[in-house]
Amino acid sequence: MLSAEFRGFTWRHAGRRAPAVADVDLRIEAGERVLLLGPSGSGKSTLLAALAGLLTTDSGDHDGEVLLDGKEAAGQRGRVGILFQDPETQLVMARSGDDVAFGLENQAVAPDEIWPRVHESLEMVGFPYTTGHPTHALSGGEQQRLALAGVLARRPDLILLDEPTANLDPEGADSIREALRTALADTAATLIVVEHRVADILNLVDRVIALGPGGAVLADGPAEAVFAEHGDMLAEQGVWVPGAEPPSHPDANPGETRLRGEALTLVHSGAERPALDGVDFDLRAGELLAVTGPNGSGKSTLALLAGGLVRPTRGTATVPGESWPLHRLPARRLATRVGTVFQDPEHQFVTGTVRDELAFAPHAAKWSRRRIDARVSELLERLRLAHLTEANPHTLSGGEARRLSVASALAAAPEVLLLDEPTFGQDRRTWGELVDLTASIRDEGTALLAVTHDRDFAAALASRELVLRAGRTHAEANRC
Amino acid sequence: MLTIEPICDPRAPIARANPVAKLFAVAAVSTTALLAGDWLTPLLLLAALIAVVPFAGIRLGPLLRRLRWLLVAAGTVAVVNTVFAAEKTGTVLFSAGPLEITSDASIDGVALGLRVCVAATAGVLGFATTDPTDLADAFTQQLRTSPRFTIGSLAALRMLPLLGAEWQQITTARRARGMEGGRNPVRRARLFASTMFTLLVGAMRRAGRLADAMDARGFDSEIPRTHARIQRMRRTDWLLLAGAITVAIAAVAVSFAYGTFDLLA
């Protein structure tokens, strides 16, 4: 057990003008279980990194103190364990057991004690494989459980969780929460967890601290009291306050078919079964079709084939007015027919400013200068990017980058837009913006297909749902 | 997909041998082959290596697949050195216009090709039977290399296959934006450069996160690390190493006795 304290703590990342957190005073008692809330940019991750001793003097400027049991945090890494959100960049070793052992080796645990502790912590998180199992063959949820075992094996007195389920599908997120429940029941360690989806984590904590911009404490106390008193304000700030009513945007009458997929099949060379196996669908103007199903069911593959981005092994995706299937179209023509928005917006940025980004596809499609300018201005206005015209796309916040990637996919006025996990890892406010934006695009007559794990997103916007299992259509249902 | 894992049966004697012992054994055989200028020494060494293959636990198919480009390289070396030899002595075997192949030149060419073969086969036998993690462990424990460098490289190596997948994603995302190389070489080059840039930006971020995760688990702290898996030279490892050195000496000795040995000038 360990108490944690910030005294007048300020941190500015190297190369930034504004501090990430300014003048934070906060004390967390030994053994407390704390949920740290706040919108993107409130410095939650910075505070956790400071406690973990990861903010080194060469990565920024600091002021004030970060104390663990009254002593500088920087020198006490051995007593703190931190779990990050991205499972892939937390695993160091090729074999699962070695990865848990890695932290113990660093701690100079005696060699004959290492393996018993590895087995103990793997059991604690319910890791289903042997120690020799390759880490790259694990699913995201399994990788995250392994990373958690790596944290627990070191027997930290302070456990920090930085959005531990944000990058996982619902099944993976459940398994991590289950592992956390078991593990936390077994230890007296102090816990600080950062999480957007509050409802799922509330039974693990006994105190909620809500931060505003720059790390200012907005509310602090037991969960019920905090949400009763400050619920509306927190929702406004982007927190998923439990019990809030999800929005609903039913569509008007869908029009004609804008995109048709026939017997779409993709077999990767050397794979045991097709990634996608004979899936048919049609997509009509003014509707949103939600494509759902567990990880590995072929959802993202369907989006790639439907968008004409990958050549199907069999089957075709076609739009009216084109005699060739989409995958045969040259890219500049494809962009005027179907837009695709990927999960990671940064993969899609191809220019140095927001304006150029929006002008790119219309320019490639040889639109006239005047038409391009008009289109760019319209999109900047509609997606509230007008103040960022000259900004570099790579410097945008998560929500802005997402809006820009949607805007740039729409730039060349395609009649079909495909979205791959559009709400992944977004805070409540950005989520709400995305739902509104998607509804307005749909209601203008664009045909939308969204691959999503997000039940609330699908419920708010989709009139039909296509459920995939193991590469095949499992069910196709009207939602209303 | 890029793989860096061993492709052998882990119970085979050579697969179980200590990585450092294997490294030095490979070095002994390859260096001898590269220093010898005749055809007999590398031929004997190659025969010895082929005799060892059954103990490495690698099936012939995967082994040949790993070797195929190296064998092509060896063949090219042999042909080029035969055809373009500076001194064309000995009997003329074949002649067509400016092209002339003589017996001495072809023997030298084959000798050079054989040496490449030996180095390649020894290297593949060594690395295809060694897990990178065990190699890194052995380096830090037996050769006392810095853990920061060795384990760091190992972690970076693990990220390599991810880069391949990411390249694919970026290329697809670019097509969706209307960007494609097509047949225009200038546009292709620009697309390659911009894809590479995006990949590197992502890789740097990822490397930063990985470094944080390693630091958070106490890597590179002041305390000397312990080792979950002990790597040391056992009796069989010394035997393997002694065997490799003996084979190298024997090959040279036979070549001497036969009167062909020639140190590479």
Q: What is the dihedral angle through the alpha carbons of B155, B161, B166, B172, rounded to the nearest 10 degrees?
A: 180
Whether A115 and B180 lie within 8 Å, measured CB to CB: no
Determine the residue among A157, A348, A351, A357 to mutate to test chain B binding: the one whose Cβ has the most chain B Cβ atoms within 10 Å: A348
Whether A344 and B175 lie within 8 Å, measured CB to CB: no
Round the average pLDDT of chain B to a whole number and report it. 87
Q: Where do runs of H (alpha helix) occur along B129-234?
A: 132-142, 147-176, 185-216
- pLDDT tens digits along B167-189: 988 999 999 988 887 788 888 88
Determine the residue among A84, A106, A130, A349 to mutate to test chain B binding: the one whose Cβ has the most chain B Cβ atoms within 10 Å: A106
Task: Tell me which chain B residue has its CA closest to the CA of residue A306.
Answer: B176
**In sequence order, which residues have a C-beta less than 8 Å from that of residue A462 and are 6 or more positions away?**
A288, A289, A290, A450, A479
Nearest to A401 by CA among A360, A361, A347, A363: A347
- pLDDT tens digits along B217-239: 988 777 888 999 899 999 999 99
B-chain residues near A334 (CB < 8 A): 175-176, 178
Tell me, what's the pLDDT at A419?
95
pTM of the model: 0.84
Whether A101 and B228 lie within 8 Å, measured CB to CB: yes
Tell me, what's the pLDDT at B265?
53
Tell me, what's the pLDDT at B2?
41
- pLDDT tens digits along A90-114: 999 989 999 999 999 999 999 999 9
Task: Tell me which chain A residue has its CA closest to the CA of residue B175.
Answer: A331
Task: Tell me which chain A residue has its CA closest to the CA of residue B3.
Answer: A136
Whether A90 and B210 lie within 8 Å, measured CB to CB: yes
Structure tokens at A202: 């509330």
Residue A26, pLDDT > 50, answer yes
Residue A479, pLDDT > 70, answer no
Backbone angles phi, psi at A165, to 5 degrees: -115, 5
A-chain residues near B228 (CB < 8 A): 97-98, 101, 104-105, 111, 114-115, 118
B-chain residues near A78 (CB < 8 A): 218, 221
Q: How far apart are CA B97 and CA A295, in angstroms?
A: 66
Q: How far apart are CA A24 and CA B79, in angstroms?
A: 73
Question: How far B197 CA lies from chain A's nearest CA (Å)?
Answer: 10
Rounded to an integer, the average pLDDT of A340-351 is: 88
Whether A346 and B228 lie within 8 Å, measured CB to CB: no
Q: How far apart are CA A391 and CA A159, in angstroms?
A: 38
Q: Cβ-count burial of B71 within 10 angstroms (0-12 exposed, 13-18 middle, 19+ buried)?
A: middle
Whether B176 and A309 lie within 8 Å, measured CB to CB: yes
Structural contact between residues B52 and B22, judged by C-beta atoms closer than 8 angstroms: no
Identify the residue with better confidence: A162 or B104. A162
Question: How far B189 CA lies from chain A's nearest CA (Å)?
Answer: 14
Whether B218 and A77 lie within 8 Å, measured CB to CB: yes
Q: Is B162 in CB contact (< 8 Å) with chain A?
A: yes
Residue B62, pLDDT > 90, answer no
Q: Is B165 in CB contact (< 8 Å) with chain A?
A: no
Tell me, what's the pLDDT at A467?
93
Kindly give the pairing relationship between strand A464-469 and strand A288-292.
parallel
Residue type, A139: S
Q: Which of A224-228, A330-334, A427-431, A442-446 has the lowest mean pLDDT?
A: A427-431
- Extract long-range pairs of B61-64: CB within 8 Å, 24+ residues apart: B62/B7, B62/B128, B63/B7, B63/B124, B63/B128
Whether B177 and A350 lie within 8 Å, measured CB to CB: yes
Structural contact between residues B125 and B49, judged by C-beta atoms closer than 8 angstroms: yes
Q: Is B219 in CB contact (< 8 Å) with chain A?
A: yes
Nearest to B27 by CA among B231, B248, B187: B248
Of the partner residues B170, B177, B209, the one whose CB lies closest to the CB of residue A408: B177
Question: How far A250 CA lies from chain B's nearest CA (Å)?
Answer: 28
Tell me, what's the pLDDT at B1?
34
Of the partner residues B131, B216, B221, the one whose CB lies closest to the CB of residue A52: B216
Round the average pLDDT of chain A to a whole number and report it. 89
Rounded to an integer, the average pLDDT of B187-213 is: 88
Q: Is B53 in CB contact (< 8 Å) with chain A?
A: no
Q: If phi over 0 gives left and psi between -120 and 50 gives alpha, with beta otherwise, what is residue A166?
A: alpha
Whether B173 and A342 lie within 8 Å, measured CB to CB: yes
Q: Is B197 in CB contact (< 8 Å) with chain A?
A: no
E strand map for A46-149: 60-68, 71-72, 80-83
Whether A52 and B161 lie within 8 Å, measured CB to CB: no
Q: How far apart are CA B166 and CA B1, in angstroms?
A: 12
Residue B58, pLDDT > 90, answer no
Determine the residue among B175, B177, B215 to mutate to test chain A binding: the one whose Cβ has the most chain A Cβ atoms within 10 Å: B177
Tell me, what's the pLDDT at B4?
55
Structure tokens at A127: 């890791």
- pLDDT tens digits along A253-266: 888 999 999 999 99
Rounded to an integer, the average pLDDT of A279-290 is: 94
Structural contact between residues A354 and A390, judged by C-beta atoms closer than 8 angstroms: yes
Q: Is B187 in CB contact (< 8 Å) with chain A?
A: no
Q: How far apart are CA A374 and CA B138, in angstroms?
A: 64
Nearest to A77 by CA among A55, A62, A98: A55
Task: Tell me which chain B residue has its CA closest to the CA of residue A150.
Answer: B217
Q: Is B3 in CB contact (< 8 Å) with chain A?
A: no
Structural contact between residues A411 and A359, judged by C-beta atoms closer than 8 angstroms: yes
Determine the residue among A347, A392, A418 to mutate to test chain B binding: the one whose Cβ has the most chain B Cβ atoms within 10 Å: A347
Tracing tokens 């694919």 back to the chain, one arrives at B168
Residue B193, pLDDT > 50, answer yes
Read off the pLDDT band of A116 (50, 70, 90).
very high
> Can you tell me the ipTM of this complex?
0.83
Nearest to A335 by CA among A260, A416, A256: A416
- Cβ under 8 Å to A: B residues 105-124: none
Of the partner residues A102, A151, A348, the one whose CB lies closest to the CB of residue B176: A348
**In sequence order, which residues have a C-beta less than 8 Å from that of residue B259 and are 6 or more positions away?**
none
Of the partner residues A77, A106, A361, the one whose CB lies closest to the CB of residue B177: A361
Of the partner residues A82, A106, A147, the one whose CB lies closest to the CB of residue B219: A106
Whether A335 and B154 lie within 8 Å, measured CB to CB: no
